[in-house]
Amino acid sequence: MTRYRGNRLNTESLWYGLYNKSIELGMWNPEALMDEIGFEEDKEIWQNLDDKEKEQVRRILVAFLDGEFEVGDDAVHHLQTIMDAPCLEDNEMKQMYMTSFALTEHKHTQFLDIYIENVMDGFDDYTDLNPRGEARVPIVEATGVGEVYEHQGRLTAKASETHDPVDIARAAACYHLDVEGILARTGFFAINKMSANAPLPLLNRGFKFISTDEGRHLTHGVRLLQELLEKERNGEPEYQGVGDAIVEVLNEDTPPMAEFAYMITDSVDDPLDVGFSNLLMRGGEFVDGMYNESLDLDYDSMEYVERIRHRYQDIDDSEIQADLEKLREEYQVKRGA
Ligand SMILES: [Fe+2]
Ligand SMILES: [Fe+2]
């Protein structure tokens, strides 16, 4: 992983390796990419999409935008502190990696925010209010995606205060497995599918970089959880409950995940052919890969798929529309005040 040895630094550490990789691979420059490719072609393709196609692209991008904003915020305020927890090994290298981790999340926000502003015709924009929790993009808040981000904020805040291994497992499960794993990866899959009919060159290049960065983030999350699980399995008392906590968090986040998939497909009639069932199957594969192959948790991924399907069947679009209206009114009132 490295050719060099240090004195203070453990250059053999996985986290040193992730840090080193981020210096090299994570240093793509969003503005340089924009200079190189330009906005013109994306703008032209965007303007030729019909209203529903635009709405589908817009929904997925604002879900990412709110998500990147919140993971960036939680990385700085909470993950950085969690990496100092005495129950974790290799604290210094983990903390060192976390600096580049947070930087990458901010770059993702930077890319998406500038892209949306320059290529698309804007969106329900309430960023003059506090976008964190108080004024997420209405469609993100009206469907369950906002709930997952909220959950992530609560769990990472708690773990950063308690430094308890089970709390850390909950926080990492929500942040890395649910948000960066299942939600982001099914999102990347949807972006890829959409690009067949809406081949936005700058967007697709940006997302290639984002998904490579997220691959490292996921490696960090999975290895962190493996470390905690190993101690639980070795019978160390403080770590008991880690495995159950990881699965509980997944179960808590499953219904909102179904709403996310619905929000970016059938609720706009899926004009760009993403396919709700494609997302469902991809999600099931990710769950199987992470929870069973990587973490050996013996989780029934078909149960996950069934829970998503049930929530999907229960979704009442008129409720989402009513929530959207209510939120817009609330935001207007806040803005007026
Ligand atoms: Fe990100
Ligand atoms: Fe990430």
217 Cα–ligand 1 center, Å: 8
What sections of 75-124 are H helices per DSSP?
80-82, 91-119
Q: Is the pLDDT of residue 270 over 60?
A: yes
* Shortest-distance ligand to the CA of residue 210: 1
CATH number at residue 39: 1.10.620.20
CA of 278 from ligand 1 middle (Å) equals 23
Ligand 1 centre to CA of 105 (Å) is 4
* Spacing, Cα 28 to ligand 1 middle (Å): 13
The Å distance, Cα 210 to ligand 2 centre, comes to: 8
Element at 193 (helix H, strand E)? helix 184-197
The reply to whether 325 falls in a domain is: yes
Ligand 1 midpoint to CA 7 (Å): 32
Choose from 127-136, 175-184, 327-336 the range with maximum mean pLDDT.
175-184
For residue 101, the CA-to-ligand 2 centroid distance in Å is 7
Q: Is residue 134 scored above 60 in pLDDT?
A: no
The position carrying tokens 């340089």 is 32
What pLDDT is recorded for position 144? 83
Question: How many angstroms is it from 71 CA to the middle of ligand 2?
Answer: 7
How remote is the CA of residue 316 from the centroid of ligand 1, in Å?
Answer: 30
**Domain range for residue 107?**
14-336
- For the segment 138-155, what is each residue's pLDDT rounded down to a tens digit? 888 888 888 999 999 999
Domain annotation covers residue 161: yes
Structure letter (DSSP) for residue 134: T
Q: Which residue has the tokens 């909950």?
A: 170
Q: What CA–CA distances, in Å, run from 232 to 156, 173, 244, 270?
A: 20, 16, 11, 44
- In this predicted structure, the answer to whether residue 326 has a pLDDT above a threshold of 90 is no
Distance 208 CA to ligand 2 centre (A): 13
160 burial level (CB within 10 Å; 0-12, 13-18, 19+): buried
CA of 64, nearest ligand number: 1
Cα 124 to middle of ligand 1, angstroms = 21
The identity of residue 220, as a single letter, is H
Indicate the angle between helix axes 242-263 and 165-172, nearest 10 degrees.
20
Measured in Å, residue 270 CA sits from the centre of ligand 1 at 25
pTM summary value: 0.94
Q: 75 C-alpha vs ligand 2 centroid, how far in Å?
A: 9
Quick check: is 8 in a domain? no
Whether 221 is covered by a domain: the verdict is yes
CA distance 280 to 264: 12
Tally of domains within the chain: 1
What is the distance between the alpha carbons of residues 263 and 136, in angstroms, rounded to a whole number?
15
The pLDDT tens digits of the residues spanning 80-98 come to 999 999 999 999 999 999 9
Contacts of residue 180, defined as CB under 8 A and 6 or more positions apart, other chains included, come to 71, 214, 217, 218, 221
Assigned domain for 34 exists: yes
Contact 28, 212 (CB under 8 A): no
Residue 259 covered by a domain: yes
2 belongs to a structural domain? no
Residue 94 C-alpha to ligand 2 middle, in angstroms?
A: 15
> Is 153 contained in some domain?
yes
